[in-house]
Amino acid sequence: MTADLFREDATLASCPAVIAAIDARGVQLDRTVFYPLGGGQAGDRGALRLADGRSLAIADTRKGAHPGEIVHVPAPGQEALLALLSPGDPVTAEIDVARRRRHMRFHTATHLLCALIPHPVDGCSITADSARLDFHMTEPLDKVALNAGLARLVAEAHPVRHRWIDEAELDANPGLVRSMSVQPPRGLGRVRVLEIEGVDLQPCGGTHVANTAEVGAVVVTKIEKKSAATRRVVIGFADAAS
């Protein structure tokens, strides 16, 4: 098990950690700020800084073979440095903060889209350059209206927060479950729920900004009819340099 510090504080850029295991897939730590690919959100990149000051570049982060495992995937060509590492070695785990920040802004924006388009989501991808959501629906979508809706929700500066809800609380509050735009998974004991105050409530394990104002200038760049019953909405940053 890797302690997933990003789950409680998505703003953490680095943390001290200890190498727990190394194998062909990559490096596992006892704790990390690296988000592993999941829920559509891309895995983090960054570096593991060693005690002697050298750095191991991390190209991707993935979930391991067992629940709770997080694997830091080294960039290619670092075999000599990897050969020097052993379980028990201290490191400092540092993510590419600028890239993660874009993931967080886009990820929060996908929740805003869920609020603007009240249809089930059957696909999601969030990268540093664009994000897309696939909605199960047959009606056409209006790009101008969606962009106006996004701009309004960003300008309204709604607080964004997560909390953990156990299954007993879900069972006791059918209204809470009904109000969620995505139904919570069962059988996990407790569910992490992301709330954008007054806008959206749904189970989500990803990383988000703390207020919709931080989403900034995000716009719908494309709406595609992927199939008879699927509409794909692609978003990007209005200012590509942001």
The residues binding Zn ion (CB under 5 A) are 194, 204, 206
Cβ at position 149, least distance to Zn ion in Å? 18
The residue (of 121 and 204) whose beta carbon lies closer to Zn ion is 204
The residue (of 27 and 194) whose beta carbon lies closer to Zn ion is 194
The CA-to-CA distance between both ends of the chain, in Å, stands at 35
Q: How far apart are CA 201 and CA 180, in angstroms?
A: 5
Cβ at position 38, least distance to Zn ion in Å? 11
The residue (of 74 and 206) whose beta carbon lies closer to Zn ion is 206
Q: The tokens 């050969």 sit on which residue?
A: 83
Q: Would you say 114 and 121 are in contact if contact means Cβ atoms under 8 Å apart?
A: yes
Cβ at position 107, least distance to Zn ion in Å? 5
Q: How far apart are CA 1 and CA 24, in angstroms?
A: 18
Sequence-distant (≥ 6) Cβ neighbours of residue 31 within 8 angstroms: 2, 3, 4, 5, 15, 17, 93
Sequence-distant (≥ 6) Cβ neighbours of residue 222 within 8 angstroms: 232, 233, 234
Cβ at position 180, least distance to Zn ion in Å? 12
Cβ at position 203, least distance to Zn ion in Å? 9
The residue (of 48 and 204) whose beta carbon lies closer to Zn ion is 204
The residue (of 161 and 225) whose beta carbon lies closer to Zn ion is 161
Sequence-distant (≥ 6) Cβ neighbours of residue 145 within 8 angstroms: none
The residue with its CB nearest to Zn ion is 204
Q: How far apart are CA 12 and CA 41, in angstroms?
A: 17
The residue (of 138 and 183) whose beta carbon lies closer to Zn ion is 183
Cβ at position 5, least distance to Zn ion in Å? 17
Burial of 98 (0-12, 13-18, 19+ CB in 10 A): exposed
